[in-house]
């Protein structure tokens, strides 16, 4: 199976083809008992929250936008969950990520962001 996922990493909102969500999360935060977006990665738990964080031009400075990418990938894959459940443990999903930078930052950060 192959899936193309486009992600726009905004400082306020992260946008993929079918989802828009806040570009902020709590690390090891409270896991909502009903609903909510939770990600477990590398031994930590992350929960999306609706908070404004400081603007970050260099989105490779920390893992924030990598974690947000994982949320976007998870949300997009959840849309095809019925197909995914038909896969065997030996099957793989090939994901092509299309991730862009604002034009004003492209030349400065393109190599680092890649």
Q: Per-residue pLDDT for 1 more than 70? A: yes
At 60 the three-state DSSP class reads coil
Q: Per-residue pLDDT for 81 more than 90? A: no
Average pLDDT estimate for 8-17: 91
Residues in the chain: 114
Residue 36, number of CB atoms within 10 A of its CB:
12
pLDDT for 46 equals 92
User: What string of DSSP letters covers 16-71?
Assistant: ESS-EEES-EEET-PPPSSS--EEEETTEEEEE---PPPP-S-TTSSSHHHHHHHH
Domain boundaries, the chain: 2-113
CA 78 – CA 49 distance, rounded (Å): 19
Question: How far apart, in Å, are the Cα atoms of 39 and each of 22, 44, 50, 56, 111?
Answer: 14, 8, 16, 22, 27
Report residue 30's pLDDT band, with 50, 70 and 90 as the boundaries.
low
Average pLDDT estimate for 81-98: 78
Q: Is the dihedral of CA 21, 22, 28, 33 positive or negative?
A: negative
Report residue 70's pLDDT band, with 50, 70 and 90 as the boundaries.
very high
Tokens of 83: 């197909």
pLDDT for 71 equals 95
CATH T-level topology, domain 2-113 = Nucleotidyltransferase; domain 5 (3.30.420)
pTM: 0.84
Report residue 36's pLDDT band, with 50, 70 and 90 as the boundaries.
confident
């Amino acid at each position: 199976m192959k899936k193309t996922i486009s992600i726009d990493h905004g400082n306020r909102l992260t946008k993929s083809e079918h989802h828009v969500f806040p570009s902020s999360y709590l690390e090891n935060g409270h896991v909502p008992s009903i609903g909510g977006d939770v990600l477990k990665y590398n031994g930590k738990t992350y929960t999306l929250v609706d908070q404004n964080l400081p603007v970050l031009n260099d989105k490779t400075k920390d893992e924030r936008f990598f974690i947000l990418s994982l949320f976007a990938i998870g949300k997009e894959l959840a849309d095809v969950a019925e197909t995914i459940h038909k896969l065997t443990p030996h099957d793989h999903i090939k994901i092509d990520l299309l991730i862009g930078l604002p034009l004003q930052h492209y030349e400065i950060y393109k190599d680092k962001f890649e």
